[in-house]
């Protein structure tokens, strides 16, 4: 399942520009009282750095605070939830 997902996604490295943008996103949210985890800000900054404004996540609530990003759950793209237990 993980390999299937990795076959359709692009892996993007975090660089200095992404880190700065992630910090800007975090700072902006914190100033307005809606801070989220820095790692979510870095995810948003990474996708935006390559012109991708949609991400797949189970934590759509956090990404709703970042106006430039549209967060979807895997099921929105047709993936089925699988119980691994």
CA atoms within 13 A on the CB side of 51: 0
- Distance from CA of residue 65 to its chain's centroid? 12
The pTM of this model reads 0.79
Tell me: pLDDT of 46 over 80: yes
Question: Of 38, 40, 50, 45, which Cα lies nearest the Cα of 9?
Answer: 50
Domain boundaries along the sequence of the chain: 13-77
Tell me: pLDDT of 54 over 90: yes
Q: Which fold has domain 13-77?
A: Rossmann fold (3.40.50)
28-50: average pLDDT = 93
Digit-coded pLDDT (tens) for 63-83: 999 999 999 998 888 877 776
């Amino acid at each position: 399942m993980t390999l299937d997902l990795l076959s359709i996604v692009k892996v993007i490295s975090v660089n200095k520009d992404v880190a700065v943008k992630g910090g800007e996103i975090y700072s902006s949210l914190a100033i307005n009282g809606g801070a989220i985890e820095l790692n979510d800000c870095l995810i948003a900054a990474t996708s935006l750095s390559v012109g991708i404004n949609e991400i797949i996540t189970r934590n759509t609530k956090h990404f709703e605070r970042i106006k430039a990003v549209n967060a979807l759950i895997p099921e929105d793209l047709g993936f089925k939830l699988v119980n691994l237990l």
